[in-house]
Amino acid sequence: MRLARYFRRIFPLLLKVSLGLLALSILSVILLRFMAPPASALMVERRVASWFGEGKYSPSYRWVSLDKIAPVMTAAVIASEDQNFAQHFGFDIAAIQRALGHNTRSTRTKGASTITQQTAKNLFLWSSRSWLRKGVEAYFTLLLETLWNKRRILETYLNIAEFGDGIYGVEAAAQHYFRKPAARLNSEEAAILAAVLPNPRRYRVKSPGPYVRERQQWILRQMHQLGGSGLVRTIE
C-alpha cells in the first residue's frame, strides 16, 4: 500500500519530466533545422575528456553551407557510408541484415549505421555503445528524417563529422590537411577524407596506411559507379 501511494505521488512528476524532455528534443531538432549548431555532443564529450587527459586539445570547427562543399565530397561520404541514403527513412534494413550476417561469421564487427543515424549520434548523444544509446539514437534518427530534409541531414553530417583529433567538419579538415577550402577538394582528397570516417582517431589522412589507401581507391570506384559529383543533385 505504501509503495502504491508513493508511485501515485511520483508518477505525475515522472510524466511531466518525460513530456518536458520530449518537447525539448523536438524543439531542439526544429531549431537546428534552421541554424548551425554551436557545437555537437561529440565535441563537448571530447572537450570534457581532455580535461582529464594529457596533451593539448585544440578543436577546429567551421560550418559551411552545402553549396560551399565540393560535390565530390558529398559523393565520397555517400559512397563510403550510406549508398542508400536518398531512399531510406533513417535505417537501411538491407545493410543491417548484411551486417548481422557478417558479425555472426567474423570476429571483426561490421556496422550498418546510416548517415542519419551518425548525425543523430554525433549531434545529440554520447559515443559509448549501449542498448540505451541505440534506442535514443533511433528516436532522434526518426525525428531528423521527419523534421529535416535529406540535404539538411547531409549538410549537418558533413559539418560535424570528426576527421581527426579535434578536427570537425569538411571545411576544417580541408584547411588542415590540404590548405584549401572544402569547395575546392578534388576526388582523391574527398575519398581519403571519407576513408578515415569509420575511426578518425585511428586512421590518418596524412601518411595513410595500406588500409586507408585501399579504402580510398574503393570509394573512388564507388563514386564513379554512383554518378560522381552529379550525385548531390539527387539529394532533396
Q: pTM value? A: 0.89
Q: Are 57 and 166 in contact (CB under 8 A)?
A: yes
Q: Are 187 and 145 in contact (CB under 8 A)?
A: no
Per-residue pLDDT, averaged over 92-112, amounts to 68
**230 burial type by CB count under 10 A (0-12 exposed, 13-18 middle, 19+ buried):** exposed
Give the model confidence (pLDDT) of 68-80 as tens digits.
999 999 999 999 9
Give the model confidence (pLDDT) of 15-70 as tens digits.
778 888 889 999 999 999 999 999 999 999 999 888 887 667 889 999 999 999 99
> Does pLDDT of 185 surpass 90?
yes
pLDDT at position 167: 96
For residue 127, CA distances in Å to 13, 111, 119, 130 come to: 29, 14, 12, 9
Give the model confidence (pLDDT) of 215-232 as tens digits.
999 999 999 998 877 777
Residue showing cell 511520483? 10
Give the model confidence (pLDDT) of 149-170 as tens digits.
999 999 999 999 999 999 999 9
Complete edge-to-edge strand list for the sheet that includes strand 167-168: 60-61, 167-168, 162-164
Per-residue pLDDT, averaged over 96-114, amounts to 68
> Does pLDDT of 14 surpass 90?
no
Residue showing cell 511531466? 16
Q: Are 126 and 45 in contact (CB under 8 A)?
A: yes
Q: Are 191 and 76 in contact (CB under 8 A)?
A: yes
